[in-house]
Structure 1
Amino acid sequence: MKAFLITSLLAAVASAIPMPAPAPAPMPAPPGIPSKSTAQSQLAALTVKAAYDDGNYKRDKFPHWNTVSGACNTREYVLKRDGVNVVTNSACSATSGTWYSPFDGATWTAASDVDIDHMVPLKNAWISGANNWTSTKRTQFANDISTPQLWAVTDDVNQAKGDKSPDKWKPPLTSFYCTYAKSWVTVKYSYGLSITSAEKSALTSMLNTC
């Protein structure tokens, strides 16, 4: 009888202790985001010099939204990769799904509210070395799904960013500064692009939030 009472008491105590909530599932994200230390090493290795705008940049010099597979182009591929429960039609267009924009923390259920952001904007790439690339390399850069170059984000936020570097624009969510800086650095490092001194200072500060 005593053992039964003790067992019952222990069970009652255990049931009264609140169980921790399960950890939220990680949100989808582009591949290749480096660690803080790797990003810092890559940042230190980048060439620092003034940006050079030769006035010849045109967006169509970076052919983008190329076919990835089947009927899916790069935009459609990223929408499906970075969304949750995304349903597509026979043309690979997203007809439903949920997208979380890490730049501003907004969640969208219509693909039309989502832009695919180039982490390092095409014009920024042009003025930091891509003006000397071949069309093939610029096409690769504009459609790169193997580095953290392409992000599904709120359309208005992407438009506010435009072609600005981190010293001139940062994502609204300060909690995303770390990931943003790591992604920006590794894309520039992967393609041998230069950075300005102001850009390096901003990236250094952002990496210090990691």
Structure 2
Amino acid sequence: MGRQAGPRGVAVAVVLLFALAGCGGSAGSADGKRDGAGGGPPAGGAAKPVTGDVLPGLVGAAEARSRLAALVVAKPGTMAGYSRDKFTHWAEQGDKCDTREVVLRRDGKNVTQDAQCRAVSGTWKSLYDGADITDAAKLDIDHMVPLAEGWRSGAAGWDAAKRKAFANDLTRPQLLAVSAASNRSKGDQSPDLWQPPDKSSWCQYGRAWTTVKSYYKLTVTPPEKAMLTTMIDTCAS
């Protein structure tokens, strides 16, 4: 027969129980596992969407579904004639600031800039992977709909002014500061080929991509549309 635990033993046991209950994985999914890119629909334990939009001009989930349904479905166009130089970026925005520095200031907290408008300090939360970043040099400004993706879904037929507006759009959810690693992992891939590893961002990502493509009247492919539907379906009702 074991010795009965005294008050001190009970207290220790309670502390241990609370410690075990509080143990969890990293943010990004309910089961504590952070899924990589390229996956399909979220599993049964999908992460809850990030609360509070961090991107400008986002439409709600219902409106995003409506706009997605209205997009023209087509095969991707060719990359013939494509060059990033045909999308003027980063444009001057006044006070020695270009679009990149404006986005860094907008998306960060306690951002300080030097006389040339360069961000010298601040903190940023990368939407795609949840990374906390304090060095602006480790951030990229991502085009939600990449320039190359825009080209093969309609921008090849635009004039230079419209391409410049697309590449420097501060009104819609087209630009955001994210970790350089996540941005370079994404490249110019559409949502069916790359998804943010932090699934809690899928709601915003799907709505943002749809908002931009709808505004610029760009086409979507069937797999792209299917994954956007999956992403928007992660939004809280």
Which TM class, normalised by the smaller chain length? 0.7 to 0.9
Match of 2:134 in 1: 109
Q: Any gaps of 5 or more consecutive residues in structure 2?
A: 1-50
CA positional deviation for 1:27: 7.3
> Map of 1:35-114 to 2, 5 A cutoff?
35-114=60-139
TM-score using structure 1 length: 0.86
Map Cα deviations across residues 98-117 of structure 1 (whole Å, 9 max, x no partner).
01101000011100000000
Query: Are the aligned partners of 1:113 and 1:155 in contact in 2 as well (CA < 8 Å)?
Result: yes
Match of 1:140 in 2: 165
Distance 1:37 1:48 in 2: 19
Distance 2:162 2:221 in 1: 22
What is the RMSD computed on CA atoms of the aligned residues? Answer: 1.1
Choose the corresponding residue for 2:214, options 148, 165, 189.
189
Q: Are 1:208 and 2:233 an aligned pair?
A: yes
> Map of 1:103-182 to 2, 5 A cutoff?
103-182=128-207
Matched letter for residue 192 of structure 1: K
Q: Give percent identity, aligned residues only.
A: 49
Map Cα deviations across residues 41-72 of structure 1 (whole Å, 9 max, x no partner).
00011000001114211111101111112101
Distance 2:99 2:52 in 1: 20
Query: Are the aligned partners of 2:79 and 2:148 in contact in 1 as well (CA < 8 Å)?
Result: no
Query: Are the aligned partners of 2:99 and 2:168 in contact in 1 as well (CA < 8 Å)?
Result: yes
Distance 2:97 2:62 in 1: 35
Aligned residue pairs: how many? Answer: 185
Query: Are the aligned partners of 1:84 and 1:99 in contact in 2 as well (CA < 8 Å)?
Result: yes
Q: Any gaps of 5 or more consecutive residues in structure 1?
A: 1-25
CA change 1:159–1:56 in 2 (3 A) is same
Distance 2:170 2:139 in 1: 17
Larger relative helix fraction: 1
**Runs of 4 or more consecutive aligned structure 1 residues displaced over 3 Å after TM superposition:** none
TM-score using structure 2 length: 0.76
Secondary structure of the equivalent of 1:117? strand
